[in-house]
Amino acid sequence: MDELDVNDIPAMLARLQAQAQEEAVEFTLHAQQEMAEEDIRPDDVLAVLASGQILENYPDHRRGACCLVYGQTSEGRHLHLVCTTARPTVILITAYEPLPPKWTTPTQRGPRDDL
């Protein structure tokens, strides 16, 4: 795949969707542990990547460009995925269900104590 502008949200989303269709996804140990704890299947991750939206972009993250993707599984379950954006294969960093108090809705953060 060509070099990607990590600030071009539509291009990043299109690339993530293509990678999901190709099942070009790797799971970190942390992602695997979170998925097991929250009963998230690899097929759920692929469904969210294929049809989700990018909520937050972290192009300058210290470990490499990544983003927060929101979407729903085929059963309608709301999930968040944190994954890389500038690699030939998606590396899933973590996956979780967005719940209060951290998230007011699946796409809106709850009040933050650190402000």
- Helix/strand/coil (H, E, C) string of 57-75? EECCCCCCCEEEEEEECCC
CA–CA distances in Å: residue 38 to residues 27, 41, 77, 84, 92: 15, 9, 12, 21, 15
Confidence of residue 1 (pLDDT cuts 50, 70, 90): very low
For the chain, helix, strand, coil in percent to 5 are 30, 30, 40
Q: Which pLDDT belongs to residue 89?
A: 94
Q: Which is nearest to 84 in space by CA: 50, 49, 108, 109?
A: 49
Average pLDDT in the 85-90 region?
Answer: 90
The per-residue pLDDT of the chain, averaged, comes to: 92
Q: Is the pTM of this model over 0.85?
A: yes
Q: Which pLDDT belongs to residue 33?
A: 98
Helix (H, G, I), strand (E, B) or coil at 100: coil
Q: Which pLDDT belongs to residue 6?
A: 80
